[in-house]
Amino acid sequence: MNDWSQPGLPPLPNQRPPLPLVPPQRGGDAAWTGAWAPVPMPAVLSVERAYFDIDTPGVVAMAIWGSLLSFLTLGIYRFWFTVNVRRDLWRRAMFAGSSFEYTGTVWEIFKGFLVALIILAPIWALYTLGTALLPSRQYGEVAGLMTFVAVIAFLFFIYFATYRARRYRVSRTLWRGVRFHQTGSGVAYALMNFGWWLLVPFSCGVSIPFARASLERYRMNNTWFGDKRFQSQASGSAMMPGFLSYLGLVLGPSLLLALLGGVALAMGVGVQHVGEIFDELSRMTKIGSTVGDRHAAGIVFGFGFLILAAIWLCLAPFVCWPIYCAWEWRSFTERMSVGGVKFRSDFSAWEFYTTYLVFLAIMTGLLMAVSMVSGVVIGLAYLAHAKDNSFLPIIVVGPLYLLVLWGLSVARLKVFLFGLTGKLIRTTTVIGLELLGDTLSRRDKVGALGDDFSGGFDIGAI
Amino acid sequence: MEIRGPATYYDGLTPRVHDVAIALGVDALTIRDLDGTLATWPLPRLIKLDARRGELRLGSVDQPDGRLEIRDPRLVRELSAALRDQPKTPGAKRSRGLVAGGLVLAALASVGVLVVFGIPAVAAKLAPLVPINWEISIGEEVKPQIVDMLGKGRQRTVCDDAAGAAALAKLSAELVEAADPPLPVQIEVIRLPVPNAFALPGGTILVLSGLIDKVATPDELRGILAHELGHVVHRDAIRHVIETAGLSALFGLVLGDYSGSTIAVLTGRTLVDAGYSRGIEAAADAFAVTVMKRIGRDPGALGDALNHITGSTPNFGESLAWLSTHPSTPDRVAKLKAEARAVPPETLLSQTEWAGIKAICK
């Protein structure tokens, strides 16, 4: 039974052709021996696109009902909502036509939430005591220390919980009847996070790619499919050209603009004989005629450039970040393997940007519609009754604000969670999936039972 | 009548693809390939699982992670009809939805009980345990900020006309002695034309000049001050800090921060805060009545003062009474007026001293 192409499989719509590739060298798994005879290897490894079903409807309806019920039940329904979202997300994702299956339950997430609450309660008490109750004049150091300890403990818990939540989700993932699972320690992961982020200020940010690669290696090298371990060669130094380009994109234009501004200021203010160009500029732009002379033009242009430099310096780190993230995703994907199976990605930053733009458009549309409706309603009400309507804005705007939040949570799920996940999966190519044929499922007691600490909160995206 | 057809089988041990023929009989589903029977799943132990579009995925409680994937459209149709009553997830029963609904209702009820009774009770128990010197230090930090905020852009925020201040000290000394607060009390008048007064943590009572303008007799001012002294004695400022912390923990930590919650939390907090305040204001009113009786002045005067104040502020109307932090004034006034009694004319303060208080901000 080595036939990995399944007869009777309906063709998948909108499937991209797989990335053209030279088949990679096989890993060390050929020497594997065990209860199952090694699968005879085909001469050429299969190359196939992963698939994510974005055409089947249901996401928007699920998001609408889930947000509404979560709101109406003061958030208690979110446990069911989370499980529904994950089940739908998992069953839409496919390797070789076989969809994944999420086997987690509401009860497990709820148990994780209770444990998280037990951990968070003392942290919260410490924080409240430090910030609100202890008078800082009398107990300044003690209160400061308590707040500091609470913040550090909370951060530690977030990192720890993120790792354990990943362990939970991974262990509840089934593909072709075999489970994934995750080893490693949440405490170690949290400590690694702290160590790496402490280094960031000392390295002027250069350690960031190394930190991200190191954490990726820790996550992936502790991820298993049955008895096959994932291996990641994610590398910070391989990301350095990308990271330096990112820094260049952020700092380069800022430096150039700042330099121009400095030169303009110097010309305008101090240096008398090199100001002819500003005479020309001020004549052309008429700034000189309104402000006075070329000194003024120099000052105006100088400060203009400096302000532009500052604006770019503030915006660019965020605007350019998706470019780096897309590079990193492709690099990490290519450096990941499991049992000789390799992966490729042609995910581009453009896919990030279109996602953001769609979300931005929805948000703008919603806000415009709501402000128009509320403006008209309030205006009409003021015309109708000149008096006694001081509460009207609250009564009108409150529910509309809720509607906007509702719309945004639906859009977030549809556009970001399902949309972006779909793009990430559909741009992935899997090479040599048949090498997993001799995988053995593991049924040990490392069950990761109910330790989804973040499922009940909004820590982590899924 | 058996339902037969092709399917793909995974044994739950390896991800290997088995092309199989399945047959659904009366009591079991049989899975065979060319080599023989691979598995027999009894019908009552059969579960339907999540699958891709157009596919039916089956499992058995007895064979964890064993999966059967059916994609043949005819077979999917027939099996779906035959297995309509089969549960969707392991162990799922029809009554699960009801149980879950009941749990949600119970959780909502317990949240309600916690908010309405639990947190105020805990805060009332904890507030007296906060050391007095903590409260005094908190007050020392808070007071300048509040005074700055109230007196924004004005000169001489604190009214300190010598004659008025002396008369006010004389009037309040008697009250403070009768109230016997656990910490030293300072009473200050702030130049702001709003009829109101506050008790800050640490024993400071701020009276706004708008209120001084409104009160008609020394007893009305005494009533207001006795009410604020009630807040000081009950340590309501500290209680409020604890209640706020408890509420933010409940709404933020336990109920979670999901989208759309912010406004629910804010509304909930406003309503609950208002509810707590109503109880606290009623207690302070009762304290004022006791103090006024103790010094032999008219407890009903506080009711008159409230009447003067509400005459000038916009009325929320009965329907919005639950939004207001103070109990609806007619109720409070009625309760206070019931305690009204005839008292001898004012002897403590002379006419000029009272005029001095009235002119303390002039």
Per-residue confidence band for A270, with pLDDT thresholds at 50, 70 and 90: low
In this prediction, residue A101 carries a pLDDT of 94
Q: Are A309 and A258 contacting, i.e. CB atoms less than 8 angstroms apart?
A: yes
As a whole number, mean pLDDT of residues A265-283 equals 64
**By percentage, how much of chain B surpasses pLDDT 90?**
15
pLDDT digits (tens, 9 = 90+) for A92-114: 999 998 999 998 888 888 888 88
Q: A314 at the B interface (CB within 8 A)?
A: no
DSSP A330-395: HHHHHTEEETTEEEEE---HHHHHHHHHHHHHHHHHHHHHHHHHHHHHHHHHHHH-SSS-TTHHHH
The pTM of the full predicted model, rounded to 2 decimals, is 0.74
Q: B148 at the A interface (CB within 8 A)?
A: no
A·B CB contacts under 8 A = 173
Interchain pair B65, A438: CB under 8 A: no
- DSSP helix/strand/coil, A34: coil
pLDDT digits (tens, 9 = 90+) for A37-96: 445 555 688 899 999 998 889 999 999 998 888 877 777 788 889 899 999 999 999 999
Residue A337: phi and psi, rounded to 5, are -150, 160
Q: Are B33 and B6 contacting, i.e. CB atoms less than 8 angstroms apart?
A: no
Find the range with the poorest average confidence among A249-263, A265-279, B193-207: A265-279
DSSP A390-414: TTHHHHHHHHHHHHHHHHHHHHIII
In this prediction, residue A149 carries a pLDDT of 87
Interchain pair A458, B256: CB under 8 A: yes
Segment holding A429, helix H or strand E: strand A428-431
Mean per-residue pLDDT over chain B, rounded: 80
Mutate to test the interface with A, among B14, B41, B248, B250 (most CBs of A within 10 A): B14
Find the range with the poorest average confidence among A99-113, B195-209, B326-340, B342-356: B326-340
Q: A441 at the B interface (CB within 8 A)?
A: yes
Per-residue confidence band for B260, with pLDDT thresholds at 50, 70 and 90: very low
Interchain pair B14, A440: CB under 8 A: yes
Asked if the model's pLDDT at residue A23 lies above 50, the reply is no
List B5's β-bridge partners, or say none: B22
In this prediction, residue A390 carries a pLDDT of 55
Task: Sort strands B28-33 and B36-42 into parallel, antiparallel or unpaired.
Answer: antiparallel
CA atoms within 13 A on the CB side of B278: 15
Q: B40 at the A interface (CB within 8 A)?
A: no
Instruction: Give me the domains of chain B, ranges plus CATH numbers.
Output: 3-82 (2.30.29.30), 116-358 (no CATH)
More confident residue, A274 or A422: A422
Cα A318 to Cα A364: distance, rounded to the nearest angstrom? 19
Mutate to test the interface with B, among A2, A76, A414 (most CBs of B within 10 A): A76
Asked if the model's pLDDT at residue B246 lies above 60, the reply is yes
As a whole number, mean pLDDT of residues B326-341 equals 77
Interchain pair A176, B10: CB under 8 A: yes
pLDDT digits (tens, 9 = 90+) for A303-354: 888 899 999 999 999 999 999 999 999 999 999 999 999 999 999 999 999 9
In this prediction, residue A17 carries a pLDDT of 64
As a whole number, mean pLDDT of residues A373-391 equals 69
Residue at A432: amino acid letter: G
Buried-exposed string B263-291: b where 16+ CB fall within 10 A, e elsewhere: ebbeebbeebeeebbbebbbbbbbbbbeb
Find the range with the poorest average confidence among A289-298, A363-372, A376-385, A407-416: A289-298
More confident residue, A269 or A436: A436
Instruction: Find chain A residues with C-beta within 8 A of B134's C-beta.
Output: 133-135, 138-139
Nearest C-alpha of chain B: how many angstroms from A405? 5
- DSSP helix/strand/coil, A51: strand
List A230's β-bridge partners, or say none: A338
In this prediction, residue B268 carries a pLDDT of 62
pLDDT digits (tens, 9 = 90+) for B86-101: 665 555 555 566 777 7
Q: Are A78 and A456 contacting, i.e. CB atoms less than 8 angstroms apart?
A: yes
Asked if the model's pLDDT at residue B138 lies above 70, the reply is yes
pLDDT digits (tens, 9 = 90+) for B231-241: 899 888 888 87
Find the range with the poorest average confidence among A1-15, A147-161, A405-419, B252-266: A1-15
Q: Pick from A49, A30, A35: which is nearest to A433 by CA?
A: A49
Q: Are B218 and B226 contacting, i.e. CB atoms less than 8 angstroms apart?
A: no
Interchain pair A102, B141: CB under 8 A: no
Nearest C-alpha of chain B: how many angstroms from A131? 10
Residue B154: phi and psi, rounded to 5, are -110, 150
Nearest C-alpha of chain A: how many angstroms from B226? 26
Cα B65 to Cα B88: distance, rounded to the nearest angstrom? 14
- DSSP helix/strand/coil, A91: helix
Q: Which long-range contacts (CB under 8 A, 24 or more apart) does B324-327 make?
A: B324/B274, B325/B273, B325/B274, B325/B277, B325/B278, B325/B281, B326/B277, B326/B278, B326/B281, B327/B278, B327/B281, B327/B282
As a whole number, mean pLDDT of residues B11-23 equals 92
In this prediction, residue A208 carries a pLDDT of 92
Q: B138 at the A interface (CB within 8 A)?
A: yes
The pair of three-digit structure tokens given for residue B231, joined into one six-digit string: 């807040």
Asked if the model's pLDDT at residue A442 lies above 70, the reply is yes
Find the range with the poorest average confidence among A125-134, A141-150, B332-341: A125-134
Cβ neighbours, 10 Å, residue A193: 21
Nearest C-alpha of chain B: how many angstroms from A316? 28
In this prediction, residue A281 carries a pLDDT of 67
Find the range with the poorest average confidence among B47-56, B99-108, B256-265: B256-265
Please name the member of B51, B245, B258 whose beta carbon is closest to the beta carbon of A91: B51
In this prediction, residue B31 carries a pLDDT of 94
Cα B105 to Cα B84: distance, rounded to the nearest angstrom? 29
Closest Cα in chain A to B90: A103
As a whole number, mean pLDDT of residues B167-190 equals 88
**A 386-425 residues with CB < 8 A to B:** 390-391, 398, 401-402, 405-406, 408-409, 412
Per-residue confidence band for B345, with pLDDT thresholds at 50, 70 and 90: confident
Cα A122 to Cα B21: distance, rounded to the nearest angstrom? 58
Interchain pair A401, B263: CB under 8 A: yes
- DSSP helix/strand/coil, A39: coil
Find the range with the poorest average confidence among B101-110, B249-258, B298-307: B249-258
Interchain pair A6, B17: CB under 8 A: yes
Q: B295 at the A interface (CB within 8 A)?
A: no
Q: Are B187 and B239 contacting, i.e. CB atoms less than 8 angstroms apart?
A: no
Give the contacts of A130 (CB within 8 A, at least 6 positions apart): A143, A144, A145, A146, A147, A148, A150
Of A65-69, A210-214, B80-84, B185-189, which has the strongest mean pLDDT? A210-214
Q: Are A21 and A431 contacting, i.e. CB atoms less than 8 angstroms apart?
A: yes
Nearest C-alpha of chain A: how many angstroms from B14? 5
Q: B15 at the A interface (CB within 8 A)?
A: yes
In this prediction, residue B195 carries a pLDDT of 80
Instruction: Find chain A residues with C-beta within 8 A of B111's C-beta.
Output: 74
Instruction: Find chain B residues with C-beta within 8 A of A441's C-beta.
Output: 12-14, 65
